[in-house]
Amino acid sequence: MPKVVFVERSGSRKEVEVPENHSVLQAAHAGDIDMEGACEGSMACSTCHVIVDADWISKLPPASTAEEDMLDLTYGVTRTSRLGCQISVKGELDGLVVRLPATTRNMMD
């Protein structure tokens, strides 16, 4: 199974294995990573915002217009920001490194 490497807000790294084609959001939940995913992948919340490592961003398919529109409403967006629910972890993304942003808009608070 491919794995996703999460860099948590504390700076610690955690590797999570996921079945192929699961999303980064699903990987976060499986690995008990602090990522809310309030809308469960329907691109209506941005609480799954991740910053993709610069070495990996070119390996991802480009963001859809809807994903970019949602990122526009998100705090702390960078050039390599993506929505975790929209990244499908394929075999070629084994080892993908994503960082949690310092702040997210948390829908449940």
Which one-letter amino acid corresponds to residue 1? Answer: M
Place of tokens 């919340």: 45
CB closer to ligand FES out of 70 and 96: 70
**CA 16 to CA 21: how far, in whole Å?**
14
Q: How many residues would you count in the chain?
A: 109
Q: Cα 15–75–47 angle (5° rounding)?
A: 50
Q: How far is the CB of 43 from ligand FES (least distance, A)?
A: 5
Which ranges in 1-109 belong to alpha helices (H)?
A: 24-30, 65-72
Q: Does 30 bind ligand FES (CB under 6 A)?
A: no
93 binds ligand FES (CB under 6 A): no
Binding letters toward ligand FES, positions 8-27, x by CB under 6 A: -----------------x--
**CB closer to ligand FES out of 4 and 11:** 4
Interface contacts to ligand FES, rule CB under 6 A: 25, 37-41, 43-48, 70, 83, 85
